[in-house]
């Protein structure tokens, strides 16, 4: 296989399915952003962290919020600080130098970085519907201009861009066209036991089996509002271990149900089922 390919094979703490590895490597080889979707708690964000670790590259994170604007990712011109300095002065503040008041955002930093970096754009669907469209050019060309100073920032090496989305909003077609797409499916029982083992290496087969039995049983319960996810399973097993609970001996209800189910309705529903 060529050198550009097969770079990512997961790390000691992160188990990726073959399909996911393949998608990551395609994105790296084609230098296109990788859009990762999937249920909450399937390790979308962790993927970027572990990819950076596996490739030995620095990671820059951009956590998108409902108020985030595309421009914030490139740079922010701190007008208020400049205004403040011009009004009240201060030692060593040259108000005439606009560049001093320009702060690069995460995307700007990634493009200005001297070497290749991994950029995580987390939960892109949290922002406005038009947000991804505003990034099209920058992600395509991997460069932008700071209007205030006329300076152009261009990437020396195209960063590896990982974008995550929770399916809250439809993303625009023009944006999707430029991405490599992967949908993280919920892990199978085999993959899940591998994942749990990575987090709890000392767990015994029997405990793991019992825990997975309860967990997948819970997930297959109809009418749950929010199904428990991988990260919740890992937390739950952690709680079981700390409290030294032997699952095979527990009867009548699941211990620490609150770590697995997060809505009142779900807990109530399980309560009714346990009684029935």
| Number of residues counted as binding another protein (CB under 8 A) | 35
Q: Where in 72-91 is the site for another protein (CB under 8 A)?
A: 79-80, 83, 86-87
Q: Is residue 96 close enough to count as binding another protein by CB under 8 A?
A: no
Residue 249 DSSP symbol? G
Number of CB atoms found within 10 A of residue 206's CB? 11
Q: Does 25 bind another protein (CB under 8 A)?
A: yes
| Residue 181 makes contact with another protein by CB under 8 A | yes
Tokens of 54: 């596996």
Q: Is 223 in the site for another protein (CB under 8 A)?
A: no
CA distance 240 to 19: 32
Q: Where does 14-173 show beta strands of DSSP type E?
A: 34-38, 59-63, 75-77, 102-104, 118-122, 143-146, 151-154, 160-165
Q: Quick check: 211 and 236 in contact, CB under 8 A? A: yes
C-alpha span between 163 and 118 (Å, rounded): 11
Using the minimum distance from each CB to another protein, give the nearer residue, 168 or 246. 168
Among 30, 99, 141, 250, binds another protein (CB under 8 A): 30
CB of 118 to another protein, least distance (A): 18
Contact in structure between 14 and 198 (CB atoms under 8 Å):
yes
Question: By C-beta, is 129 or 245 nearer to another protein?
Answer: 129
Whether the Cβ atoms of residue 43 and residue 184 lie closer than 8 Å to each other = yes
Single out the residue of 124, 180, 192, 240 in contact with another protein (rule: CB under 8 A). Answer: 180
3-state secondary structure (DSSP) of residue 102: strand
Closer to another protein by Cβ: residue 173 or 205? 173
Is 3 a binding residue for another protein by CB under 8 A? The answer is no
**Binding residues for another protein restricted to 121-160, rule: CB under 8 A:** 129
CB atoms within 10 A of CB 225: 11
Of 32-40, 102-110, 145-153, 238-246, which part binds another protein (CB under 8 A)? Answer: 32-40
Residues near another protein, by CB under 8 A: 1-2, 4-5, 19, 22-23, 25-26, 29-30, 32, 35, 37, 79-80, 83, 86-87, 129, 167-171, 173, 176-183, 185
């Amino acid at each position: 296989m060529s050198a550009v390919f097969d770079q990512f094979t997961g790390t000691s703490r992160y188990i990726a399915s073959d399909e996911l590895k393949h998608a990551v490597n395609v994105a790296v080889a084609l230098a296109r952003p990788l859009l990762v979707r999937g249920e909450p708690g399937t390790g979308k964000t962790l993927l970027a962290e572990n990819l950076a670790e596996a490739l030995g590259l620095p990671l820059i994170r951009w956590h998108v919020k409902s108020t985030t604007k595309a421009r914030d990712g490139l740079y922010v011109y701190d007008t208020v600080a400049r205004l403040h300095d011009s009004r009240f002065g201060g030692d060593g503040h040259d108000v005439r130098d606009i560049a001093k008041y320009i702060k690069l955002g995460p995307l700007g930093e990634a493009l200005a970085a001297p070497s290749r970096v991994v950029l995580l754009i987390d939960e892109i669907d949290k922002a406005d519907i038009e947000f991804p469209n505003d990034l099209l050019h920058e992600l395509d060309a991997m460069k932008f201009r700071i209007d205030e100073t006329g300076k152009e920032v261009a990437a020396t090496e195209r960063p590896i861009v990982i974008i995550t989305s929770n399916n809250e909003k439809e993303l625009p077609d023009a944006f999707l066209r430029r991405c490599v797409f992967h949908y993280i499916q919920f892990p199978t029982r085999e993959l899940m036991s591998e994942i749990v083992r990575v987090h709890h290496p000392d767990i015994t087969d029997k405990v793991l089996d019992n825990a997975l039995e309860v967990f997948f049983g819970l997930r297959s319960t109809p009418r749950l509002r929010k199904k428990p996810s991988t990260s919740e399973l890992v937390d739950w097993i952690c709680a079981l271990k700390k409290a030294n609970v032997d699952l095979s001996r527990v009867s009548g209800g699941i211990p620490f149900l609150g770590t697995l189910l997060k809505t009142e309705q779900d807990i109530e529903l399980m309560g009714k089922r346990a009684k029935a």
